[in-house]
Structure 1
């Protein structure tokens, strides 16, 4: 049995947020070692101390934009932003032809 930063019990398939970085993921596994709870998060495939994550409500996982009603996954946005930062710019692209 593991408890989050707010002393709420964590179960497998719960969605949690790592409080230090904001990483959100689904709990795949839970273990206890030396009286410390750990949770395995699918997004990173890493183990986190259970006291450093918080269980999320479904409304915290998705954000709705009211004009279109479209749902947007926050983690997908972060991933796209990271990919944009990692793009390599090349000065040989789009040279003028004259």
Structure 2
């Protein structure tokens, strides 16, 4: 039976600080940081949904923090660019001789 935590329910973190939707929290087991987007209660406890992982965490494993999750840099590459990179790597590998790979340097 999932149900939204009502306003009358006081939801607190591991230290007893109140948690609400929009709170920035840290998951104490992995230091994951995120903003709470949903709070719900079921037979196993009260859970908060973090925006950064899209996972629910028990509120007693969360800690209010001033830190905000940093936005990761997205890097997209087109299929054509990927094919070109693979082609160049294959050409580079074919142009390398065994002598170049196993070239001994130094005295001896």
- Check whether TM > 0.5: yes
Write out aligned runs for 1:13-52 (5 A): 13-34=22-43, 36-52=45-61
Runs of 4 or more off by more than 2 Å in structure 1?
Answer: 92-98
Structure 1 residues 17-71: Cα deviation after superposition (integer angstroms, max 9, x where no partner): 11111111110011122372110001111110000010112xx33xxxxxxxxxx
Change (3 A) 1:94 1:13: farther
In structure 1, list runs of 5 or more residues that go unmatched. 62-73, 81-89
Cα separation, 2, equivalents of 1:54 and 1:94: 52
Larger of the two Rg values belongs to structure: 2
Cα separation, 2, equivalents of 1:6 and 1:94: 59
Q: Which has the higher strand share?
A: 1
In structure 2, list runs of 5 or more residues that go unmatched. 1-9, 74-85, 97-108
In the TM superposition, residue 94 of structure 1 has moved relative to its aligned partner by 7.6
